[in-house]
């Protein structure tokens, strides 16, 4: 008596009032490959960036020995406004370049990452930044997959693109929206002893592919994945374990997507495949000369007719003192369509290689070195939401 009815009629009214379900505005989520014509993508923002706190998934180091001596320890709290503004200027320029190429761009929400975070199982003094959107979410065909990340300071980073996901899901009736189980990030998810290994020990164990996370829970950063249509390849790394690869395999098998692992034994502390093995187009991969793919994986690619082209050494191997990524950010290029690529402006050798040996007709150099501070370059700081491509089968 006097209580509201929650029968099916009432539910339908509720659904209509709240605009749940497809609205049919015609936007589509679609990206099967790394090379299809790019139509829409998200570009990260550096606002409110903080230094990543020391944690089981990341023990950061100042990579400039002089500054390391001066400062003594890893800094805490907010990054300087100058460093944020410099990165934002380059990110905004990337937006302009993409728009000029006919790509619609979207940006993450500006959030306050200086807030501490406490869950029942861990606490961190501050969060990070929504610059490398590539790490938090991936489009695989018509499915957006929120990653199961390992870093505590990045636990809520996905919220910066939640509105974009909401809008896409409402507008595209075919889109699937999945989120991997949110990792507990409890201490027992990590193998702290890995941090004590010397480089020699890491080298000895390199074929075991064991890093600072164990296999208690599925873990992966979206940037550990690369797409070739019906097949996707995932790198076991500091940010991706075999349980994470198995989770992807089970989730994507019903759609006919085959999930493979890709191993790079000579990278002793790997994370993210996009400075190591960069797919340029059908049957062509840019490879890292210091991080060859494992022989058993290479065979599979070669027997399916793929060619590997080694990248040269970076023209400028310098990186900012607090960047936790390597000189190979030079390889973190962004292919925006067949034969079309954006490359960091100082990497002239790579620009020439792409033009003269890899069939690229449009090579667009842009300044991006101030974004290196946040661990990524052009590919890392983007998330493609729409490419004109299909579920091609290049491993028949």
Residues annotated as catalytic (active site), given as ranges: 221, 272, 380
**Would you count residue 380 as binding ligand NVA (CB under 6 A)?**
yes
Q: Which is nearer to ligand NVA, 101 or 290 (CB)?
A: 290
Mark the segment that binds ligand NVA (CB under 6 A) among 153-161, 177-185, 272-280, 338-346.
Answer: 272-280
**248/78 Cα distance (integer angstroms):** 34
**Would you count residue 275 as binding ligand NVA (CB under 6 A)?**
yes
Q: Which is nearer to ligand NVA, 29 or 129 (CB)?
A: 129
Q: Which is nearer to ligand NVA, 274 or 297 (CB)?
A: 274
Mark the segment that binds ligand NVA (CB under 6 A) among 45-53, 89-97, 249-257, 269-277.
Answer: 269-277
The nearest distance, CB 210 to ligand NVA, in angstroms, is: 17
Q: Which of 107, 210, 272, 369 binds ligand NVA (CB under 6 A)?
A: 272
**Would you count residue 325 as binding ligand NVA (CB under 6 A)?**
yes
363 in Cβ contact with 120 (< 8 Å): no
Q: Which of 42, 314, 376, 385 binds ligand NVA (CB under 6 A)?
A: 376
**Would you count residue 262 as binding ligand NVA (CB under 6 A)?**
no
**226/209 Cα distance (integer angstroms):** 18
Q: Which of 328, 334, 360, 368 binds ligand NVA (CB under 6 A)?
A: 328
* Interacting residues with ligand NVA between 154 and 173 (CB under 6 A): none
CA neighbor of 274 nearest in space, from 193, 384, 113:
384
Contacts of 147 (CB under 8 A, 6+ apart): 135, 136, 137, 138, 158, 180, 220, 221, 222
The nearest distance, CB 377 to ligand NVA, in angstroms, is: 7
The nearest distance, CB 235 to ligand NVA, in angstroms, is: 10
CA neighbor of 111 nearest in space, from 72, 152, 155:
155
CA distances from 165 to 56, 109, 180, 320 (A): 30, 12, 15, 32
Residue whose tokens read 């190591």: 276
CA distances from 173 to 26, 161, 242, 335 (A): 9, 19, 32, 28
Supply the Cα-derived Rg of the chain in whole angstroms.
21
Triad 146, 152, 158: Cα angle to 5°: 30
**Residue 393, strand partner residues:** 229
- Output phi, psi for 194, to 5 deg: -55, -35
Q: Which is nearer to ligand NVA, 63 or 93 (CB)?
A: 63
**149/179 Cα distance (integer angstroms):** 11
The nearest distance, CB 300 to ligand NVA, in angstroms, is: 23
The nearest distance, CB 328 to ligand NVA, in angstroms, is: 4
The nearest distance, CB 61 to ligand NVA, in angstroms, is: 12
* Size of site (CB under 6 A) for ligand NVA: 10
Tell how far CA 394 is from the center of its chain: 23
**Would you count residue 271 as binding ligand NVA (CB under 6 A)?**
yes
Q: Which is nearer to ligand NVA, 237 or 385 (CB)?
A: 237
**Would you count residue 326 as binding ligand NVA (CB under 6 A)?**
yes
For the chain, helix, strand, coil in percent to 5 are: 30, 20, 45
**Would you count residue 239 as binding ligand NVA (CB under 6 A)?**
no
**323/65 Cα distance (integer angstroms):** 13
The nearest distance, CB 22 to ligand NVA, in angstroms, is: 35
Q: Which is nearer to ligand NVA, 127 or 326 (CB)?
A: 326
Q: Which is nearer to ligand NVA, 265 or 338 (CB)?
A: 265
Mark the segment that binds ligand NVA (CB under 6 A) among 26-34, 136-144, 320-328, 383-391.
Answer: 320-328
Both tokens assigned to 115? 């807030």
**203/227 Cα distance (integer angstroms):** 29
The nearest distance, CB 265 to ligand NVA, in angstroms, is: 15
Give the DSSP letter string of 105-149.
Answer: EE-PPP--TTS-EE-SS-EES----S--GGGTEEEEBTEEEE-B-
Mark the segment that binds ligand NVA (CB under 6 A) among 67-75, 116-124, 172-180, 325-333.
Answer: 325-333
**Binding residues for ligand NVA (CB under 6 A):** 271-272, 274-275, 325-326, 328, 332, 376, 380
């Amino acid at each position: 008596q006097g209580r509201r009815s929650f029968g099916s009629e009432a539910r339908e009214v509720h659904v209509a009032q709240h605009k749940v379900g497809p609205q049919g505005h015609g936007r589509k989520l679609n990206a099967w490959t790394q090379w299809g014509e790019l139509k829409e993508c998200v570009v990260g923002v550096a606002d409110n960036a903080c230094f990543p706190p020391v944690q089981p998934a990341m023990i950061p180091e100042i990579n400039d020995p002089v500054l390391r001596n001066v400062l003594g320890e890893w800094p805490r709290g907010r990054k300087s406004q100058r460093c944020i503004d410099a990165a934002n200027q380059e990110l905004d320029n990337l937006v302009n370049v993409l728009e000029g190429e006919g790509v619609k761009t979207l940006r993450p929400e500006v959030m306050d990452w200086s807030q501490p975070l406490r869950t029942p199982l861990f606490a961190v003094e501050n969060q990070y930044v929504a610059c490398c959107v590539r790490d938090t979410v991936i489009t695989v065909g018509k499915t957006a997959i929120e990653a199961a990340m390992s870093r505590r300071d990045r636990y809520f980073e996905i919220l910066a693109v939640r509105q974009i996901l909401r809008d896409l899901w409402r507008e595209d009736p075919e889109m699937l929206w999945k989120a991997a189980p949110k990792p507990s990030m409890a201490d027992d998810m990590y193998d702290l002893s890995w941090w004590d290994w010397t480089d020699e020990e890491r080298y000895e164990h390199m074929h075991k592919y064991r890093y600072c996370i164990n296999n208690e829970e599925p873990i992966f950063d979206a940037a550990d994945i690369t797409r070739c249509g019906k097949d996707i390849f995932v790198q076991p790394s500091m940010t991706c374990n075999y349980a994470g690869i198995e989770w992807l395999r089970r989730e994507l098998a019903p759609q006919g997507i085959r999930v493979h692992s890709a191993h790079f034994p000579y990278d002793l502390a790997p994370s993210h495949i996009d400075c190591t093995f960069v797919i340029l187009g059908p049957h062509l991969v840019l490879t890292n000369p210091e991080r060859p793919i494992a022989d058993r994986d290479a065979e599979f690619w070669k027997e399916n007719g793929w060619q590997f082209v080694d990248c040269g050494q970076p023209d400028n191997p310098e990186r900012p003192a607090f960047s936790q990524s390597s000189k190979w950010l030079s390889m973190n290029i962004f292919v925006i369509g067949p034969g079309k690529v954006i490359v960091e402006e100082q990497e002239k050798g790579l620009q020439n290689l792409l033009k003269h040996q890899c069939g690229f007709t449009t090579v667009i150099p842009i300044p991006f070195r101030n974004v290196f501070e946040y661990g990524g370059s052009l590919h890392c700081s983007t998330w493609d939401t729409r490419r004109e491509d299909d579920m091609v089968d290049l491993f028949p």
